[in-house]
Amino acid sequence: MTVYAIIGGTGLTQLEGLTITAALNMDTPYGAPSAPVLRGEYAGREVLFLARHGHPHRIPPHQVNYRANIWALKQAGAEAIIAVNAVGGIHMAMGTGHFCVPHQVIDYTSGRAHTFFEGELDHVTHVDFSYPYDEKLRELLIAALAAEHCEFSSHGVYGATQGPRLETVAEIARMERDGCDIVGMTGMPEAVLAREVSLPYACLSLVVNPAAGKTTALITMAEIERALEQGMGKVKAVLARVLS
């Protein structure tokens, strides 16, 4: 039976309902991960859980040690990863509270340690990243969202920005022209690092605010926190259904 790892983002620093059997304080060649890797049982399955931003939530997106996180999950026995991401909505369908299971990503980040294949190498390695998300995992998430009667899009392009600031109106307009449907700060290099260590990876994105220029109001943390509070119950129900 597949051992799933769940990476929790903003709003999901702990997985309520997880019966913890071990908290693994792991060391990696890339330093320490964001938090201990929690091993336990959730929805009747053995799972691993890692809080991307630490617990408590303290590590900003551009300072997450993505390499250590993915390496630690692989070493702990993960066989597939479901990543939970809070995002902004660009496409008109992506309103607050809407879910998206992206099928593509555009990387606008810079300066992040983004590969395991560097330094003293025996040979140069290039991974095929044409389709960044595992299709079987995507199908499981889509089926679970439908079964939970959530409003969702089965496809979407995730635009990954550097953060920690939110984007300008002009930047969102550019991303929309590029074909992005949602915008977040943690989708990359997490997805490609999983590919480099041969871990199937898919993303469950919850829209927590309209992107810059998609509303006349200012984007506030209070608004985002309300959307997270309202949406995380559904996130947990979807995860439970996938695992069961």
Residue 220 among known ligand-binding residues: no
Residue 39 among known ligand-binding residues: no
Residue pair 50/170 in contact (Cβ under 8 Å)? The answer is no
Residue pair 109/162 in contact (Cβ under 8 Å)? The answer is yes
Residue 186 among known ligand-binding residues: yes
Residue 19 among known ligand-binding residues: no
Spell out where the chain has E strands.
4-8, 19-24, 37-42, 45-51, 80-89, 99-100, 104-107, 152-153, 157-160, 182-184, 201-210
- Virtual CA dihedral for 120, 105, 201, 207, nearest 10 degrees? 130
Residue 103 among known ligand-binding residues: no
Give 41's strand partners: 19, 46
Residue 33 among known ligand-binding residues: no
Residue 53 among known ligand-binding residues: yes
Residue 69 among known ligand-binding residues: no
Query: Which amino acids are annotated as binding site for substrate, given as ranges?
Result: 185, 209-211
Query: Which amino acids are annotated as binding site for phosphate, given as ranges?
Result: 10, 52-53, 186
Query: Which amino acids are annotated as binding site, given as ranges?
Result: 10, 52-53, 185-186, 209-211
